[in-house]
Chains A and B, each alone.
Chain A
Amino acid sequence: MKQINSKRIVWIIIATVIAFAVGLKLGALVANSQKLQVKAATIFEKPRVISPFKLQTTAAKEFTQKDLLGHWTLMFFGFTNCPDICPTTLSILNQVYQTVEKKGIKPPQVVFVSVDPGRDHLDKLASYVPYFNPNFIGATGAPNELKSLAQQLGVMYQRIDDPKLTPEQQKKSYLVDHSGTIVVFNPQGQYFAVFSMPHQAPEIAQDMINITQHYE
């Protein structure tokens, strides 16, 4: 009798272990089916830690890594004298923001970083950026700060002077080539993903909804 009982216990243990293993496997399968789906975003295998940076949003307010914490952030680099790509992208970002918000999900913080601090003074950014959405943040910084941040994010920019202009005219009138990518930071302030050109608002919005919900 005693022996039967201990045999039974062994069987129960074996059955439990098998059931547990099957359960784990099933669980993994279910988790896999709920894998984060994105259309336009390129998500890094491991979010990248970036070194501290310091930008200015207004004369009194700094924008640092701390401002990335606790929410998703979309960052775009450009300049306000850009008539085509920058207004287009800021409008797309506004549409993304509104679409995410309408879904009842906390929309990402959107930051427009001017890589033209020589002309884009803080007061100019403060009137330009909210035109596209009152919640958007306009920032810029010292050339070395901008360069360091952009380099870490794989963002390029370059001032292009018109040789036909006089040096005096060149101070005012030049173009800035820049990357069109939208950078995504996770709520831990790490470089999480990137959206490459061309941008489509519905795709970016859906990706941000999926990303936000996946990590809730």
Chain B
Amino acid sequence: MNLARFITVLFFSSFLTAYAAVKEDITVSNAYVRATPPGKTMTAAFLKLENTSDQEHRLIAVDSSAAGTTELHQTVNEQGLLKMRPVTEMTIAAHSTQELQPGGYHIMLVDLKQPLKIGQTIPLTLSFASGEKLTLKIPVKSVIADVDNQ
């Protein structure tokens, strides 16, 4: 392969990468947000992201109009001490699944505009490093339910 051809291939492959669509590559499932206990204005949302493509995707921001602040968080267990921290991004490697689930990654919704009740839905936007966004409507579920379903 001569250099010119190599560069051409490189050029087109990067072109292809830039055009890879999150909408086609990423499947979102099991998305829900926890109903709020009385008096609480914050809660957590969970979902599963499956990347069926040959390239990785990076989730870089989350947003919901239901909350004043929406952040991607991770709970880490450091020798028995549980630390919940904001994370700047989450990578979904090629042909892999990342699950946001209790005790791990979660979407934290702070300063909710109103209490979340079972049966409602809230909008949620996931922004990826590619510049694309996925907009979802996720159901409000009881916190008790996700334990029963384990």
Contacts and interface: CB of A to CB of B under 8 A. Distances in A.
Instruction: Note whether A and B form a binding pair.
Output: yes
A178 interface: yes
Interface in A81-114: 81-85, 87-88, 90-92, 94-95
Interface stretch (B9-17, B21-29, B76-84): B76-84
Interface in B67-91: 73, 75, 77, 80-85
B40 A128 contact: yes
Contacts, number: 90
A95 B147 contact: yes
A115 to B, nearest CB: 12
A178 B81 CA distance: 5
A124 to B, nearest CB: 6
A34 to B, nearest CB: 31
A124 B143 contact: no
A28 interface: no
B148 A95 contact: yes
A80 B146 contact: no
A212 to B, nearest CB: 21
Interface string A175-193: 1011111000000000000
A132 interface: yes
Contact of A127 (B38, B82, B102): B38
A85 B38 CA distance: 17
Interface in A8-35: none
Contacts of B57: none
Contacts of A131: 37-38
A117 B85 CA distance: 21
Interface in A154-171: 156, 158, 160
Interface of A: 80-85, 87-88, 90-92, 94-95, 124, 127-128, 131-132, 156, 158, 160, 173, 175, 177-181, 196-198, 200-201
Given A132-B143, A178-B82, 7 more contacts: A83-B73, A85-B102, A87-B37, A179-B80, A179-B81, A180-B77, A197-B80
29 contacts: A81-B40, A81-B42, A83-B43, A83-B106, A83-B108, A84-B103, A85-B75, A85-B103, A87-B44, A88-B102, A88-B103, A88-B146, A88-B147, A91-B146, A91-B147, A94-B147, A95-B144, A127-B37, A127-B38, A128-B37, A128-B38, A131-B38, A156-B81, A158-B81, A175-B85, A177-B83, A178-B81, A196-B80, A201-B147
